[in-house]
A and B are shown apart, each in its own frame.
Chain A
Amino acid sequence: MSFVSVERLQKTYSGTPVFSDIHFTITQGEFVTLLGPSGCGKSTLLRCIAGLTPVDGGKILLDGQDIVPLSPQKRDIGMVFQSYALFPNMTVEQNVAFGLRMQKVNANDSHKRTTEALQLVELNDFAKRYPHQLSGGQCQRVALARSLVTRPRLLLLDEPLSALDARIRKHLREQIRAIQRELNLTTIFVTHDQEEALTMSDRIFLMNQGRIVQSGDAQTLYAAPADAFAAGFIGNYNLLDAETASRLLQRPVSSRVAIRPETLSLSLQGEPDTVIRNHSLLGNVIRYRVEVRGVELIVDVLNRSPGDLYPDGQRVALSIDNSTLCEVA
């Protein structure tokens, strides 16, 4: 049973279509990510769902009701912005309670629910502070609490972690997901960061130039990219055209092939027809650039022991697992 259903959505900006035919459905409680490069239309799509940008055609059904004709005030949707958008003239507490105030919730209930919301994001001690006294991560948590306290039917997050530094980002990722699960809140998350998408989502919609190119869970998207764009965007695929692939695999190949670097393995046993050109140490993974039969490939090897580190110029044997190859359009 779909909770959110977007049908034939169109948006044009100054004559150029931003997206022309968007379809998707989301079930209740699902965490869905819109992933894609800058300019692919993901933020615009999110804003259309929120009602902040008008659409030019199509329907958006939320729990069976078409919300396109509704103003943002009436859509019962919560949203967290990349820039936090906290009201500077109000304390944390007043910020969080704002939605309740608009709903004319009485003072007692409001206070109770505000305290609960702040508890959820672990910021009770900061209730009387002003936004300019908070760090970026704290601001974002307040923004989250503020959008959750009104118990919206749908939560939208527009690249909420992009402005934060790496450590805070990881921590908040987990916190957002945990809260979302606890509340069973249907959520749409927008990001250009594939790691965020892969770690947080139930399903990912990969977008490019106004189209949803592929949708599926993290494993599907990662291991089975639908086309060259997907293969190029997610992971570090070796993308080979048909001719190069034939040369590599020594059998005829009819379409482009995408090979994940971690599915290739190197060893000193076997036919040493592969040369290590150079390597980079990425911490837990060693990334090699190798050349075999005139084809350049990236190979990722787990950095388990000193024996895994081959010097540049070393000749090694390469083995390819055919079951992990992807034929892409």
Chain B
Amino acid sequence: MSRAESTTASVYHRSVVWLLFLILLLPLLGTLVYSIASSWSATVLPSGFTLKWYSQLWGDPRFLTAFGHSLLVCVAALVLSVVLILPLLFVVHYHFPRLDALMNILILLPFAVPPVVSSVGLLQLYGSGPLRMVGTPWILIGCYFTVALPFMYRAITNNLQAINLRDLMDAAQLLGASTWQAAFLVVLPNLRKGLMVALLLSFSFLFGEFVFANILVGTQYETLQVFLNNMRNSSGHFTSALVISYFLFVLVLTWVATFLNKDKSQ
């Protein structure tokens, strides 16, 4: 292609990418500006800047409780996931490779069945009776486990296939390790990267989950998202500060985790 053509083309592509960036940035930017504006109504730009919304937020006990609730539920769900999924993955890939096809279908369920639909059944089944869980964090932890499942299964499966599980196990066992030892000392350390990525992905997704939290638990165990929604009638500046804080938290967590992960492997 002639030189003129390739320069026009590259200008076009750069413009498109910047436009995409701008579109994605706008809502975030708007919220950020709103959170540091002293007042902003019926005008294009705010009238003054302040950090008082943040100090109000971080001094609010209800916010801090909600934040703690979210953290607790998400971390607990992830711990549960790891405890349930790692053995599952190991058993499937080492002993019953044909189950993998079945598993791939099963993990589609959390995607194919929207949380609203599951909630109908969940409310009825566990709203009363022996398995009463509705309104407690327990049901949330269980549901969040199903939400995290597809992410974790896929990410760790890819990792397992990359490290060639069978060969590693065979080599370890030939050198005298029992199955348990081989799994813990050889396979697990190699899964660290995939596991970290999966946990991170799942955590940010779970932290932003609203449907289950609102329908199954609501204000009885208020998570951050539910708190955010319940605060809709208070100042828009306050809710914006809340959103930005939540967003920054997830961002920082991602950076720290990526940093830690990279560091150790070098």
Residues of A at the B interface (CB closer than 8 Å) are 51-52, 54, 69-72
Q: Enumerate chain A residues within 8 angstroms of B266, measured Cβ to Cβ.
A: none
Do B1 and A69 have beta carbons less than 8 Å apart? no
Q: Enumerate chain B residues within 8 angstroms of A54, measured Cβ to Cβ.
A: 1-3, 6
Number of residues from B at the complex interface, CB < 8 A: 5
Q: Enumerate chain A residues within 8 angstroms of B2, measured Cβ to Cβ.
A: 51, 54, 69-71
A56 → B minimal CB distance (Å):
9
* In the assembled complex, B60 has its CB within 8 A of some CB on chain A: no
C-alpha gap A107/B2 in the complex (Å): 32
Which chain B residues numbered 1 to 43 have a C-beta less than 8 Å away from chain A?
1-3, 5-6
Which chain B residues numbered 216 to 252 have a C-beta less than 8 Å away from chain A?
none
Residue of B nearest to A74 (CB): B2
Q: Enumerate chain B residues within 8 angstroms of A71, measured Cβ to Cβ.
A: 1-2, 5
C-alpha gap A86/B6 in the complex (Å): 24
User: Interface residues of B: mostly helix, strand, loop or mixed?
Assistant: helix
C-alpha gap A69/B4 in the complex (Å): 9
A65 → B minimal CB distance (Å):
15
Q: Enumerate chain B residues within 8 angstroms of A69, measured Cβ to Cβ.
A: 2
Q: Enumerate chain A residues within 8 angstroms of B5, measured Cβ to Cβ.
A: 71
C-alpha gap A72/B3 in the complex (Å): 12
13 A-B pairs whose Cβ atoms sit less than 8 Å apart in the complex: A51-B1, A51-B2, A52-B1, A54-B1, A54-B2, A54-B3, A54-B6, A69-B2, A70-B2, A71-B1, A71-B2, A71-B5, A72-B1
Q: Which of B2, B3, B6 has the most CB of A within 10 A?
A: B2
Residue of A nearest to B3 (CB): A54
Q: Enumerate chain A residues within 8 angstroms of B3, measured Cβ to Cβ.
A: 54
Q: What are the 3 A-B residue pairs with the smallest beta carbon separation, nearest first?
A: A54-B3, A71-B2, A71-B1
C-alpha gap A69/B2 in the complex (Å): 7
Q: Enumerate chain B residues within 8 angstroms of A51, measured Cβ to Cβ.
A: 1-2
C-alpha gap A51/B1 in the complex (Å): 5
A85 → B minimal CB distance (Å):
16
C-alpha gap A51/B2 in the complex (Å): 7
Residue of A nearest to B6 (CB): A54
A269 → B minimal CB distance (Å):
63
Other than the given A54-B2, A69-B2, A71-B1, 10 more pairs (CB < 8 A) read A51-B1, A51-B2, A52-B1, A54-B1, A54-B3, A54-B6, A70-B2, A71-B2, A71-B5, A72-B1
C-alpha gap A100/B2 in the complex (Å): 23
Q: Which of A51, A52, A54, A69 has the most CB of B within 10 A?
A: A54
Q: Enumerate chain A residues within 8 angstroms of B1, measured Cβ to Cβ.
A: 51-52, 54, 71-72
Contact with A along B109-126 (1 / 0, CB 8 A): 000000000000000000
Residue of B nearest to A70 (CB): B2
C-alpha gap A51/B6 in the complex (Å): 12
Q: Enumerate chain B residues within 8 angstroms of A52, measured Cβ to Cβ.
A: 1
Residue of B nearest to A72 (CB): B1
C-alpha gap A52/B1 in the complex (Å): 5
Q: Enumerate chain B residues within 8 angstroms of A70, measured Cβ to Cβ.
A: 2
Q: Enumerate chain A residues within 8 angstroms of B6, measured Cβ to Cβ.
A: 54
C-alpha gap A71/B2 in the complex (Å): 6
Residue of A nearest to B2 (CB): A71
C-alpha gap A69/B3 in the complex (Å): 9
Residue of B nearest to A69 (CB): B2
C-alpha gap A70/B2 in the complex (Å): 7
Q: Enumerate chain B residues within 8 angstroms of A72, measured Cβ to Cβ.
A: 1
C-alpha gap A54/B7 in the complex (Å): 11
B146 → A minimal CB distance (Å):
39
B11 → A minimal CB distance (Å):
16
